[in-house]
Chain A
Amino acid sequence: NAGVTQTPKFQVLKTGQSMTLQCAQDMNHEYMSWYRQDPGMGLRLIHYSVGAGITDQGEVPNGYNVSRSTTEDFPLRLLSAAPSQTSVYFCASSYLEMDEQFFGPGTRLTVL
């Protein structure tokens, strides 16, 4: 099993550009989520999904969109990048919401 994979590992954007961070898991997990990690802030939940076709907002959803068309994939879209979105982004998955979550290796995003 590859576990949770994320692409790209690094990305630099200009203000106003859009992009999609990819996340995939091969563990047949129903629950998937996106977090951002900023210094001194821990990880904060952006969006989550409890299954294909179902998504909901977390603590910091503004400026991000998600969709879940398959169990395996959960992409995160930045609609119009802003410097405040410079962060490290982690995707995670688990079988159920309250289970141990498995994290991807992260995407380091810089917005200039």
Chain B
Amino acid sequence: AQSVTQLDSHVSVSEGTPVLLRCNYSSSYSPSLFWYVQHPNKGLQLLLKYTSAATLVKGINGFEAEFKKSETSFHLTKPSAHMSDAAEYFCVVTGGGADGLTFGKGTHLIIQP
């Protein structure tokens, strides 16, 4: 079994300030972990993925995430927020099989001008 908890349903930051979106997971297997972004009325786009290589993963648009096994966390960060980052972000875990991808409930990122 696997699960994902996104610790904040909404995060609001000012443009140019750092972004932190928090994610904790549980999995019976060695998991793969992903962050996806969904802009309003759009499909989902992969930001980055962790698949048991380097624990610090760099993604698109300046985002990165660090896999911490001891804390079962996979938090998403960006040094400087841009207005175009406003979207819904999903943390996702998979161990394969019948569980497929398990999505967190999402974090709505709001960027203040």
Contacts and interface: CB of A to CB of B under 8 A. Distances in A.
Q: Do A and B come from one complex?
A: yes
Interface of A: 33, 35, 40-45, 48, 56-59, 90, 92, 97-101, 103-106
Given A42-B106, A104-B43, A56 B101 contact: no
Given A97-B94, A98-B32, A42 B100 contact: no
Chain B interface residue bracket vs A: 20 to 34
State the 6 A-B residue pairs at the shortest beta-carbon distance, nearest first: A42-B103, A45-B100, A103-B44, A97-B96, A43-B103, A42-B105
B43 A56 contact: no
Nearest to B32: A98
6 contacts: A42-B106, A43-B90, A57-B98, A90-B44, A97-B96, A100-B34
A46 to B, nearest CB: 9
B40 interface: no
Contacts, number: 56
Contacts of A57: 98
Nearest to A45: B100
B12 interface: no
B101 to A, nearest CB: 6
A98 B33 CA distance: 9
B97 interface: yes
